Amino acid sequence: MNDSITVEGGKIRGFRVHHDPRPYDIAAAAAREVVGEKFQKLINDGREKAADFLTSLNTEYDQRKDYLRPASSLNWIPIEKGVALSVKDTEGNLPDGSFSVDEHALSQALGRATVSVPPQYARSLIAAGKQDVLADSLNRLYNPESTYLLRTVGEVRGFLSDSYKIINALPSLEVFVRAAMALGCVPLPGTDLKVRKAFSFIIPQLVYIGDSVVLFGVRWGHSDYGAGRLQVEWFVMRAGCTNLAVGDVVHAKMHLGQRLSGDSGIFKPETRAAQEQTLLLEMKDVVEATFTPKAFAERIEMLRVAAETAIEGEQLDNILKGLSLTKKDQDEVRDRFNRPDVTDLPAGNSTWRLSSAISLFANEVREDRPRDAYHFDELAGKVIGIRKTRGSTLTAVE
């Protein structure tokens, strides 16, 4: 085995882990031939689509408007597809009319009522055409003196408490991007789940582990709407098929702060800049620390162990039952694990293969089920032991 990791001039220059019976040069040449085209396409697509993602995020940032209002100034209105929300200003007027409410924000609102309304019950009312019942219930089930922060982008996307600490995504992402690019990393296409965003970079160097060729990277994830904390986490990707396994969170910040007062719209730019400055300095340090040679050596060893750890007998069923997957999704993953495929999945019956089977399933459903796919990527890391911290959630956060 030949292991080496080199960092020259502040940039990662190359590293290798070789477990192939063929001489390294022959094995490496064969691997490059198989994954080279896909690898280059991945990098090209990332560079092209990254700009679109950042432009979209900038547009959303400019369009967002916050309202800090007592419950007495809110009025729920039945509409054809559910409920809408009108927001009175301090003088009792409705300057912006009414807003449709995103599913995520509605779930938050249901949970913040004095008597929590189960989302399933709310969905059943809407399905039965009883939107008026739901709207009336919401208008009655709030303490009129309680204050809420509403974050809107043409619709209500976040229905938050007045203890929500605003950590806007854009400034933290800008620091993340600068730090990653300074290390020679290249971007992947961003992930936009509407209420949660993610942006990733990979190191453009191939790593050989067993019969797999992999890439390492780092992912920034954040929600401005209470759909999870700001966090930076590392990941590993099989280069030939882009199966992803997300590792441990290396940095995280919760949206917990002092209660807001007044209209959040009056916060001056310098006030928000002061709140975010410490966080941004930490972000730069975290990205740099994520790519140290020591960190790479530890993660490569984790993958080597996963590639050599066999799943025997009933272990597969037991592992799948222990994951937060529906019975149908368990069956889908099991089917992929048991296929004779050795192109999209590592050969054998290792935990590394199971991780890749979960990631492969995630890639196949990503367009129709983007939130589930995001979660499946994290489960793929959990299976091979590289992810122990809790993942992001799409539930309400203070």
The model's pLDDT over 96-122, given as tens digits with 9 standing for 90+, comes to 788 999 999 999 999 998 888 899 999
Stated as kind and residue range, the H or E segment containing 333 is: helix 327-338
Residue range 32-59: mean pLDDT, rounded:
76
User: Are residues 201 and 228 both part of a single domain?
Assistant: yes
Q: pLDDT over 70 for what percent of the chain?
A: 77
In terms of phi and psi (left: phi > 0; alpha: psi -120 to 50; beta: otherwise), the region of 390 is beta
- Residue 390 domain flag: no
Crossing angle for the helix pair 103-112 and 119-127, to the nearest 10 degrees: 120
Of 99, 123, 152, the one marking the end of a domain is 152
Is there a single domain that holds both residue 276 and residue 364?
Answer: yes
Q: What is the C-alpha separation between 88 and 148, in angstroms, rounded?
A: 13
Long-range CB contact pairs, 189-193, < 8 A, 24+: 189/45, 189/46, 189/49, 189/50, 189/53, 190/49, 190/50, 190/53, 190/54, 190/57, 191/370, 191/374, 192/53, 192/56, 192/57, 193/227, 193/370, 193/371, 193/374, 193/394
- Give the C-alpha separation, 284 to 276, whole Å: 13
pLDDT at 4 over 60: no
Which pLDDT score, from 0 to 100, does residue 319 have?
A: 93
How many domains is the chain built from? 2
Among 152, 176, 191, residue at a domain's last position: 152
Looking at residue 243, its pLDDT comes to 63
397 in a structural domain: no
User: Within this chain, do residues 263 and 368 fall inside the same structural domain, yes or no?
Assistant: yes
359 neighbors 373 (Cβ within 8 angstroms): no
Residues 318 and 226 in one domain: yes
The verdict on 354 and 234 lying in the same domain is yes
138 and 175 belong to one structural domain: no
Check if the beta carbon of residue 278 is closer than 8 Å to that of residue 82.
no
Closest of 136, 81, 78 to residue 103, by C-alpha:
81
The 10s digit of each residue's pLDDT in 136-187 is: 999 999 988 899 999 999 999 999 998 887 777 787 888 888 888 888 888 9
Lowest mean pLDDT among 68-82, 106-120, 195-209, 256-270: 256-270
The pairing of beta strand 191-192 with beta strand 197-202: antiparallel
Position 313 confidence tier, pLDDT thresholds 50, 70, 90: confident
The pLDDT value recorded for residue 287 is 82
Q: What is the pLDDT of residue 392?
A: 38
Which of 106, 123, 152 is the endpoint of a domain?
152
Q: Could you give the CA distance from residue 115 to residue 142 in angstroms, rounded to a whole number?
A: 8
More confident position, 264 or 339? 339
SS3 of 343-377: the string is CCCCCCCEHHHHHHHHHHHHHHHCCCCHHHHHHHH
- Quick: pLDDT tens for 60-87: 999 999 999 999 999 999 999 899 999 9
Identify the helix (H) or strand (E) that includes residue 299: helix 293-308
Q: Say which residue, 3 or 250, is predicted with more confidence.
A: 250
**Highest mean pLDDT, choosing among 125-129, 177-181, 271-275:** 125-129
Please state, in angstroms and rounded to a whole number, the distance separating the CA atoms of residues 352 and 311: 10
Domain containing 360 equals 4-58+168-383
252 and 280 part of one domain: yes
Beta-bridge partner residues of 160: 149
Neighbours of 274 (CB within 10 A): 10
Helix (H, G, I), strand (E, B) or coil at 98: strand
| E strand or H helix at 177 | helix 169-182
pLDDT bin (cut points 50, 70, 90) of residue 22 is: low
pLDDT-derived band at 336, boundaries 50, 70, 90: very high
| Total Cβ atoms within 10 A of residue 68 | 21
pLDDT of residue 36: 62
Q: Which residue has the higher pLDDT, 135 or 47?
A: 135
Q: Identify the pLDDT of residue 165.
A: 77
Q: Residue 49's pLDDT band (boundaries 50, 70, 90)?
A: confident
Q: Give the residue among 179, 133, 395 at the shortest CA–CA distance from 289.
A: 179
**Whether 102 and 173 share a structural domain:** no
Residue 157 in domain: no
Does 221 share its domain with 345?
yes
Q: Which two tokens stand for residue 190?
A: 């961003």
pLDDT-derived band of residue 89, with 50, 70 and 90 as boundaries?
confident
Provide Rg for the chain, Cα atoms: 23
Query: Cα–chain-centroid distance for residue 291?
Result: 20
Tokens describing residue 15: 């590293």
Q: Is residue 372 part of a domain?
A: yes
302 inside domain: yes
The pLDDT of residue 39 is 67
Please name every residue paired with 192 in a beta bridge, in sequence order, or none if there are none.
197
**Pair (286, 183) in one structural domain:** yes
Same-domain status, 138 and 194: no
For residue 34 the two structure tokens come to: 């198989």
pLDDT band at 43 (very low <50, low <70, confident <90, very high): confident
Mean of the per-residue pLDDT values of the chain: 79
Looking at the structure, do residues 97 and 26 belong to the same domain, yes or no?
no
Cα–Cα distance measured from residue 353 to residue 373, given in angstroms and rounded to the nearest whole number: 18
Residue ranges in 3-82 assigned as alpha helix (H): 24-63
pLDDT category at 50 given cuts 50, 70, 90 is: confident
Whether residue 17 is predicted with pLDDT greater than 50 in this model: the reply is no
Q: What is the band of 316 on the pLDDT scale with cuts at 50, 70, 90?
A: very high
